[in-house]
Amino acid sequence: MTREQSTDVGGHAANTRVAIVGGGPAGSLLALALAQRGYGVDLYERRSDPRGQIADRGKSINLGLSKRGMQALQMVGLLDRVLRRAVTMRGRIIHAMDGTGRFQPYGKDSAEVLHSVDRNELNCTLLEEAGRYPSVKLHFEHQLVRVDKQSRELEFNVSGQNIKVRPQWVIAADGAFSTMRRELQHGERADYHQEFHEWGYMELTLDAAAGGTSKVELRALHVWPRRHCMIVSHPNLSGSHTLTLLLPFHGEDSFATMRTPAEIETLFTKYFPDLIPLLPDLVEQCMKHSPAGMVSTRTAPWAFADWAVLVGDACHAVYPFYGQGMNAAFEDCSVLVRELNDCKGDRETAFRRYELARRAHTDVLCDLTKAACVELRQKVRSPWFLARKRLDLAIHRLLPQAWTPLYTMVAHTTIPYAEALARSRRQERILLCSSVVLALLTVGASLFYALGR
Ligand SMILES: Cc1cc2nc3c(=O)[nH]c(=O)nc-3n(C[C@H](O)[C@H](O)[C@H](O)COP(=O)(O)OP(=O)(O)OC[C@H]3O[C@@H](n4cnc5c(N)ncnc54)[C@H](O)[C@@H]3O)c2cc1C
């Protein structure tokens, strides 16, 4: 979509300025989408402008982009550009303790793949495109500190000074620890639930070999799953991989016991011996970074009259085990933009419809991510689990319209999460009943044959 094209058919966006708090993936995508539809946008981000800055090594999280996120990028006309800078992941390679790797495809064909994207680069692309619109003002180093709901005022800390603004309406895209959410819910009958995972995570880099070739298969996600801890790796275009070490914060074999070079080497020798030769600067990297926590939140309501609405991690942070956090945040953006368009200026109705369309599904996603963690820790190497996965994919290939594995529905379609789960449970029941019938028939046939003799 070009800057001249606006899909705001009703013209309700004209003369409307929205404040977006948070310039992460959701905030910057919305700034662009709304500018394209004729809105004026003030985006406030507490950090400095990331454009033109070289990402600090170890902080450049790579994310798996899937269908829901791709659809939102398509909406703002950036999908092709983002995909050109992404690495396609055809499946995941599960690395066992003995150093062997087993490939598990993500889907039935080359369309059912994930794309590894650099979070900083994606964020910068979105900010850059949004910033091209004269109607968009990007305010970096503006940290929201207070909200006055009565006078509809936002207060920001800017280089030690507090400034107040009174926007017509606000989108809160300020992440899992959203100040906007906290301030809006203060004194309201609101629900908020927050859980921290016992594991923390640390980003490490597996550099490319000389000549830019990858030291492990490039076009795949790599997982070193252990009951006690895990490493997940996303590929980069440069041939390097961003490894995420997931480890308990405390107790035996934890970040707390991984502080000296000897402790780091002992832990990697015990759990990830095949990675040691590939990471010559392992100790240096581990000593340089500190682990971060993983939080899962759910909350209600998401909207406050016709003035404020929450999107992305601000209303539903999830653990990263399903690779859906950003994808779900982007899907929020698509739905919010659609509802604002359909409701033609009636923001209160648009917000209500948006929350109704999303909240039940992101609550289910929250549960799915917890189940995915158990799957990765305990089941992913079990022969029964692998056979079940293969059977699921085989039936999907045979009957693509009638049968779709849960992972496929979550990652490669936009079927709402709760519907995907309900459909998958129906399939489970069909499979169970078919197995029982098959077992009974086999027993019956054996008895008939035995008695007949
Ligand atoms: C280890 C890890 C791996 C992940 N992998 C994946 C993956 O593979 N696929 C996937 O889809 N998702 C993944 N995610 C999740 C994904 O990163 C998040 O869901 C996504 O970043 C949410 O985007 P957001 O814009 O809602 O929030 P955020 O990315 O948190 O952005 C919020 C922004 O608001 C700003 N801000 C915060 N407070 C204030 C304030 N008071 N004033 C002004 N600005 C403020 C912040 O600086 C930030 O820029 C992963 C997450 C982690 C931790």
Q: What is the pLDDT of residue 60?
A: 57
| Structure-token pair, residue 137 | 């003002």
Measured CA to CA, the distance from residue 448 to residue 223 in angstroms comes to 48
Report which ligand 1 atom has the smallest distance to the Cα of 324: 11
Identify which of 60, 63, 244, 362 to mutate to test ligand 1's pocket (most ligand atoms within 8 A of the CB): 63
Contact 161, 152 (CB under 8 A): no
- Beta strands per DSSP E along 149-260: 153-158, 161-165, 169-172, 191-206, 221-225, 230-235, 241-248
Burial code (b: 16+ CB inside 10 Å, e: under 16) for 215-252 equals bbbbebbbbbbbeebbbbbbbbbebbbbbbbbbbeeee
Q: Which of 59, 156, 174 to mutate to test the pocket of ligand 1 (most atoms within 8 A of CB)?
A: 174
Tell me the C-alpha distance between 298 and 372, whole Å.
Answer: 18
CA of 45 to the centre of ligand 1 (A): 12
Residue 363 Cα to ligand 1 middle (Å): 18
Residues with CB under 6 A from ligand 1: 21-27, 44-47, 61, 63-64, 143-144, 173-175, 179, 201, 244, 312-314, 320, 323-327, 329
Q: Which of 20, 29, 42, 46 to mutate to test the pocket of ligand 1 (most atoms within 8 A of CB)?
A: 46
Atom of ligand 1 nearest to the CA of 312: 26
CA of 274 to the centre of ligand 1 (A): 31
Please state whether the peptide bond connecting residue 301 to the residue before it is cis, i.e. omega within 30 degrees of 0: yes
Between the two ends of the chain, the Cα-to-Cα distance in Å is 76
Q: DSSP of 242-265, one letter per residue?
A: EEEEEEESSSSSSGGG--SHHHHH
Q: What is the pLDDT along the chain (453 residues), one digit of tens a residue?
A: 444 444 544 567 777 899 999 999 999 999 999 999 999 999 999 999 999 775 544 445 799 999 999 999 999 999 999 999 999 999 999 999 999 999 999 988 889 999 999 999 999 999 999 999 999 999 999 999 999 999 999 999 999 999 999 999 999 999 999 999 999 999 999 999 999 999 999 999 999 998 889 999 999 999 999 999 999 999 999 999 999 999 999 999 999 999 999 999 999 999 999 999 999 999 999 999 999 999 999 999 999 999 999 999 999 999 999 999 999 999 999 999 999 999 998 999 999 999 999 999 999 999 999 999 988 888 877 888 888 888 998 999 999 889 999 999 999 999 999 999 999 999 999 988 998 999 999 999 998 888 876
Site to probe by mutation for ligand 1, drawn from 313, 318, 407, 410 as the one with most ligand atoms within 8 Å of Cβ, is 313
Kindly report the protein residue whose alpha carbon is nearest to atom 37 of ligand 1: 174
Strand order in the sheet with 87-89: 62-65, 114-118, 87-89
Distance 119 CA to ligand 1 centre (A): 9
Is there a contact between 281 and 230 (Cβ–Cβ < 8 Å)?
no
Q: Which helix (H) or strand (E) holds 146?
A: strand 143-148
Whether 64 and 116 have beta carbons less than 8 Å apart is answered as: yes
Pairing of the two strands 308-310 and 303-304: antiparallel
Longest Cα–Cα distance of the chain, Å, equals: 94
Strand 191-206 vs strand 40-44: parallel, antiparallel, or unpaired? Answer: unpaired
Instruction: With beta carbons less than 8 A apart as the criterion, state whether 318 and 366 touch.
Output: yes
Phi, psi of 248 (to 5 degrees): -60, 150
| 142 Cα nearest atom in ligand 1 | 43
Nearest to 242 by CA among 218, 263, 262: 218
Question: What is the residue with the minimal CA distance to atom 14 of ligand 1?
Answer: 325
The pLDDT of residue 329 is 98
Dist. CA 64 → ligand 1 center (Å): 13
Distance 127 CA to ligand 1 centre (A): 15
Does pTM top 0.85 for this prediction? yes
Q: Which two tokens stand for residue 432?
A: 């169970």
Distance (angstroms) between ligand 1 centre and the Cα of 292 equals 13
